[in-house]
Homo-oligomer: A and B are copies of this chain.
């Protein structure tokens, strides 16, 4: 492993502390001329500063003794040059006087790419493509979602040890632990929209709000989205008499990609919906899995056995094991496996396929 690769590996580790969704995971490490790390930064999710700025801010706050003009900034992704909700990182790097930038993956988004050239034009020594493959793989599904012009999709599966979401008589409250449910509500708070099927609305009448342990509403609430053609009753708890557009909407389709593309332009938090949590039911989940539109899974396995009752996921068009979609443990957000009360929560991402990696490379 070269010196560059060693520092990039540390930046990758930092990136994995972030949460997936609206933005890609990015990590950054500022290294002095002796090769020692001065500051480590990462992106914490939408609305938070970018990894490069995070590392620079930490260096300024914690290591004012370090002369930044002697440092190298390692970042897993090419620094951005666009004005989004955060100012461009290129500006911050130039303002700080960092003379050398080493980055991993190229920025695949059309409106943000070119940061490396801009830095080089301003006289910064730029090295590209260090550990490019793992840096790209870290966000392969985020890149795919961008290319497909759709929000990032998180799915949660809350099921018994034998993969069921309710007992034979339909009872399901509660299969999972209080800790698992609390985790789900924290995810609901930070996504843009939560999506369920119109059948689930008719059968379960869920509220789809983000709540704390005592049932109080959290500060941020997702847009509530009903997919499918059954009308949403006036008195359904997710709308409580409110007209469509006021905190909820319906996408009258059974095609998940169409539903996602409509959401991409639905107004939320001053931007389109960029991160959706799909909660069910099993038919909706099957449709998303069958279309390869699931970017991230949180699977809660509760240590309870039912033996009968509906499965978490219905048919997805797989008849033989070789056709089955495979996932890999996702190291982001504190690691792939967490004990939540007595439940085990497994965090998974789709296995990077040859096609998705090629698609990323060509962008």
Using a CB–CB distance below 8 Å, which chain A residues touch chain B? 157, 159-164, 166-169, 171-173, 175, 286, 289-290, 297, 299, 301, 303-308, 311-329, 336-337, 339, 342, 344, 346, 348
Contacts of A175 in B (CB 8 A): 321
| CB atoms of A337 and B327 under 8 A apart | no
Contacts of A166 in B (CB 8 A): 321
Chain multiplicity (copies)? 2
Residues of B within 8 A of A171 (CB): 320-322
Assembled-state Cα–Cα distance A180/B253 (Å) = 41
Taking a contact as CB atoms closer than 8 A, the residue among B172, B315, B327 that contacts A307 in the complex is B315
C-alpha gap A112/B26 in the complex (Å) = 61
Sample of 12 further A-B pairs with CB below 8 A, known A290-B307, A307-B316: A160-B324, A167-B318, A167-B324, A304-B321, A304-B327, A306-B321, A306-B324, A326-B342, A327-B342, A329-B339, A329-B342, A344-B346
A61 smallest CB distance to B (angstroms): 36
CB distance from A260 to the nearest CB of B (A): 19
In whole Å, how far is A97's beta carbon from the nearest beta carbon of chain B? Answer: 43
Q: Are A289 and B318 in contact (CB under 8 A)?
A: no
A307-B326 in contact (CB<8A)? no
Q: Which residues of B contact A297 (CB under 8 A)?
A: 161
